[in-house]
Amino acid sequence: MIKLLLLPGDGIGPEVMEESKRVLGWYSKNRQFAYESESDLIGGTAYEKTGRSDPDETIEKAKAADAVLFGAVGGPQWDNLPFEKKPERGLLRLRKDMGLFANLRPALCFDALKDASTLKPEIVAGLDILIVRELTGGVYFGEPKETTTLPDGQKRAVDTQVYTTSEIERIARVAFELARVRSKRVASAEKSNVMVTGVLWRQVVTKVHKEEFPDVELTHILADNAAMQLVRNPKQFDVMVTDNLFGDVLSDQAAQLTGSIGMLPSASLGAKIGGRQAALYEPIHGSAPDIAGKGLANPIAGLLSFAMCLRYSFGRIEDANLLEKAVEQVLAEGYRTGDIMQPGMNKVGTAGMTDAILNALDKLS
């Protein structure tokens, strides 16, 4: 029996998780998706109840689960907490303790939403790219990471960009393997013109490609050019692999191409050990305190995260495709939450959007 851990978190996290539960129930009833699930605390809500945003019990359960479905964490009421108590700490510790080194961020533009992008519809129509971001190394974790006071009284802050061969090899393999089941193209982005970590990144990716994935097309691109090309002609890319910092920026930029943050899912994966792979699935949006508790949140990013879970953790490709197709269909039928509302469309709330998706699932299956 599949074991899922549900971590709703804060703000709109619990609201969108409720909708994911309804869709999980549909898959259990109609597609023989046999699972057991448990919910637990994370983030600000966990801090209020336990004094910690990353309770050990939650972390241990996450490590034992076959997959974790995550909502969102954070909110203004916790903004002034010290860093180690902040809600985001819960997510960072999950990533670290579960060894989630690969962050997969698809940027998919549904045809019905091509006008919602800030780019011209012809630039984004049919867009389907996957950014593979290294998640546990690089400048966010490198040491030294400190602020010191110099003899003349001014401050000096240092972050350290650091990568090892094995860290680059494993993220490169994830990207090449994913490219094999897509259109067999990988673009690797770094700054090998000015950074030694970029030089090593390029060398290692080239070696892994030559020795293990010669059937996949590899191109190297400087990260600043990648940013430019993403808005000039994003459809030239299929899979893009990059480090933690550049991936953070480029994946947000790619997200914006598709029009709404409420539409985009993500997966964070660990190493495959004895047939098991740690995995956490979450919408890319945050806790949206401005609309929390109002039934307005778009549940689609959370639902598409569950589709990624079906695909990557359980190999249920047909089931994943079915859910993505149902989303595409309700958008084509004109259902819209406020964030993606367009003139003449049918405005629905969080639960209304899920109702429409469940209807579409019934019809499609």
Residue ranges in contact with ligand NAD by CB under 6 A: 12, 72-75, 88, 91, 261-262, 282, 285-291, 297-298, 301, 337, 339
Q: What are residue 349's DSSP bridge partners?
A: none
35 given a catalytic annotation: no
Catalytic site residue from 140, 184, 235, 355: 140
- The H or E element that residue 354 is part of is helix 350-364
Please give the full DSSP string across 187-204, using - where no structure is assigned: EEEE-TTT-HHHHHHHHH
> Which one of 97, 159, 252, 355 is the catalytic residue?
252
128 is catalytic: no
State in angstroms the smallest separation of the CB of 152 from ligand NAD: 35
- 319 catalytic? Reply is no
Catalytic residue of the set 191, 238, 319, 339: 191
Nearer to ligand NAD, 76 or 315 (CB): 76
- Decide if 224 is catalytic: yes
d(CA 112, CA 100): 33
Residues 168, 205 contacting (CB under 8 angstroms): yes
Active site residue 155: no
Number of helices followed by number of strands (H, E) in the chain: 12, 14
Q: Which is nearer to ligand NAD, 54 or 282 (CB)?
A: 282
CB of 174: closest distance to ligand NAD in angstroms?
20
Q: Which of 248, 281, 312, 335 is catalytic?
A: 248
Q: How far is the CB of 115 from ligand NAD (least distance, A)?
A: 18
Contacting residues for 25 by C-beta, under 8 A, at least 6 apart: none
Number of Cβ atoms within 10 Å of the Cβ of 62:
23
Decide the pairing of beta strands 239-242 and 128-134. parallel
Residues 260-285 as b or e (16 or more Cβ within 10 Å = b): bbbbbbbbbbbeeeeeebbbbbbbbb
Rounded CA-CA distance 351/345 in Å is 17
Q: Which is nearer to ligand NAD, 73 or 323 (CB)?
A: 73
Closest distance between ligand NAD and the C-beta of residue 63, in Å?
A: 19
Catalytic residue among 224, 290, 294, 362: 224
Shortest Å, Cβ 53 to ligand NAD: 11
How far apart CA 241 and CA 204 sit, in angstroms, is 13
- Point out the residues that are catalytic: 140, 191, 224, 248, 252
